[in-house]
A = this chain, B = another copy of it.
Amino acid sequence: MVMPLQDLKVLDLSRVLSGPFCTMVLGDLGADVLKVEEPEKGDEIRMWPPFVGGESCAFLSVNRNKRSMTLDLKTEQGKEVFFQLVASRDVLVENFRPGTMERLGLGFDAIHKVNPRMVYCGISGYGRTGPYRNKPGYDAIVQAHGGLMSITGEPGRSSVRAGVSLVDLSSGLLGAIGILAALKAREITGRGQIVDTSLFESLISLLTYHAQNYLSSGVMPQKLGTAHPSAVPYQSFNVRDGALMVGALNQKFWIKLCEALSLTELVDDPRFRTAQDRSTNRVDLSELLSRALAGFDMAEASRLLEAAGVPYAPINDIGQVFRDPQALFREMLIQIAHPKLGKISLVGIPIKLSETPGGINRPPPMLGQHTEEVLKELNYGEAQVIALKQKKAV
């Protein structure tokens, strides 16, 4: 069966989250991803707790559809194997600090001499140039540095971190877009190039309307808890046995919400007549709605809002997400056999293609599981493989 990226061969030197997420997205769509790891230790995410059967859950989460080989890039023999891989692949992904690959003698220029068509994607904390190019980048550090934390949390209280590592993950997605764009450019120019993206820039690009509100009108975005800067009511409310989000994002939804909660008198209340009125009097409105919703349990409130067609959702925990009928229908929970752990559950593929869908064909690999297989593909003989092992190059 055709997979959309079946002709793409990726050499993946990346570790932890941003790069591995990038290459996993490519692998889910059919790319052949070869993960190169340091002998003995491997990708440092393999050390992140919690563990199941000795394997890190975090590692399992971002490494399916990849083969793993070990390679010591500091040895001469390791470099020799590396450049053979470079010669036979389309894309390299790394997320070391800028300059690391050059210090190893493996920078873009050296790679380009061996394979002028190779696309080189470097995902760094702050980008390959500029005063902070050498700063290490970590998701939560950049959530602070790039402004996200200042707008996440309850009003008047400390900032909090967005619960997912969205800075790492969005930089991985932007890296994947940059790689696919550079491959399009290669069809025109015949040559590969550097895709240079970073955690910091990814986050800045996600600021979108917050950034523009500030840049154009001087409005400084603030922490609003669950609420929205302009749409009101669009926030969470407690019910007797939990909490749910309600979004009456326009006049139609607002009227339906009042009807659903038997609060029709609010529709004509001059404090709440227009979107602007509701925004101005958001504290009063929030109190009235909180009181009304506190009288329901989750099932009743859901039934009323569902019937009225008002956007809402329970504040699900992660367990509830993976029991959700839509998540299951859309195959966002899949199972695959793992060489050591038996059958394991993984998150499914969020991009569905109607004719040439992706798929999950390989479980997350054990460290170096495919070292010999890959060396044989490079025409290394048995004796040469043994020699590489003895020299600890693989």
Question: A4 contacts B185, CB within 8 Å?
Answer: yes
Residues on the B chain within 8 Å of A317, using CB: 147, 150, 220-221
Question: A353 contacts B245, CB within 8 Å?
Answer: no
Q: With an 8 A cutoff between CB atoms, is A29 at the interface?
A: yes
Question: B206 contacts A346, CB within 8 Å?
Answer: no
Q: With an 8 A cutoff between CB atoms, is A383 at the interface?
A: no
Nearest CB in chain B: distance from A71 CB, A:
23
Question: A154 contacts B157, CB within 8 Å?
Answer: yes
Nearest CB in chain B: distance from A79 CB, A:
23
Question: A201 contacts B163, CB within 8 Å?
Answer: no
Question: B245 contacts A196, CB within 8 Å?
Answer: no
Nearest CB in chain B: distance from A229 CB, A:
9
Cα–Cα distance between A202 and B209 once the two chains are bound (Å): 20
One of B184, B228, B276 near A140 (C-beta < 8 A): B228
Question: B356 contacts A185, CB within 8 Å?
Answer: yes
* Tier of interface size on chain A: 35 or more
Cα–Cα distance between A310 and B121 once the two chains are bound (Å): 26
One of B143, B152, B212, B324 near A61 (C-beta < 8 A): B212
Query: How many protomers of this protein does the assembly include?
Result: 2
Contact with B along A132-158 (1 / 0, CB 8 A): 100110101111111111111110011
| Residue of B with least CB distance to A197 | B351
Q: With an 8 A cutoff between CB atoms, is A379 at the interface?
A: no
| Residue of B with least CB distance to A193 | B355
Contact with B along A17-35 (1 / 0, CB 8 A): 1000100010001000000
Residues on the B chain within 8 Å of A178, using CB: 351, 353
One of B171, B189, B197, B226 near A149 (C-beta < 8 A): B226
Question: A127 contacts B208, CB within 8 Å?
Answer: no
Residues on the B chain within 8 Å of A8, using CB: 184
Cα–Cα distance between A152 and B332 once the two chains are bound (Å): 22
Cα–Cα distance between A326 and B129 once the two chains are bound (Å): 9
One of B25, B49, B189, B314 near A2 (C-beta < 8 A): B189
8 Å CB interface, A174-225 against B? 174-178, 180-185, 188-189, 191, 193-198, 200-217, 219-221, 223-225
Q: Can you name 26 A-B residue pairings with CB atoms under 8 Å? A: A2-B188, A5-B184, A21-B208, A57-B216, A62-B209, A129-B329, A140-B245, A141-B313, A142-B313, A149-B163, A149-B245, A151-B164, A151-B318, A152-B162, A154-B154, A154-B157, A159-B236, A160-B225, A165-B209, A166-B170, A171-B350, A180-B181, A181-B353, A185-B353, A205-B347, A216-B341
